[in-house]
Amino acid sequence: MARRILTERMWQRLATMLPPEHGRQGRPAKNNRQMLEAMLWRLRTGTPWRALSPEWGPWGTVYRRFERWSRAGIWQRVLEELVRHADEEWLMIDATVVRAHKSFPVQS
């Protein structure tokens, strides 16, 4: 198994929002956690799908699962759920970078 991106706590929260791994005909489905970890690694690094490391599994399998979840609205539901239960304890705005208006050079 490839290196982990998600902690066990994160995975437990996300696992309930993903479709079941079983119930389809044909070959057994790949593990949802492995597929999600591969998707997150790919999105984090910006690597092309075809360059996905073999340690994550076949790139085509990961891509098809990502596309299937996208078409089914899984990602939308996951994001809505995460936003609804967001931990805002550490939310802050750094006022040193917030501009209220365009800065003009000072004329002497």
Residue 64: which pLDDT band, with cuts at 50, 70 and 90?
very high
Q: Which pair of tokens denotes residue 52?
A: 């996905």
| Helix, strand, coil share of the chain (percent; to 5) | 50, 0, 50
pLDDT beyond 60 at 105: yes
Residue labelled with tokens 């996208």: 70
pTM for this prediction? 0.70
Rounded-to-integer distance, Cα 55 and Cα 59, Å: 10
Cα of first residue to Cα of last residue in the chain, in angstroms, is 65
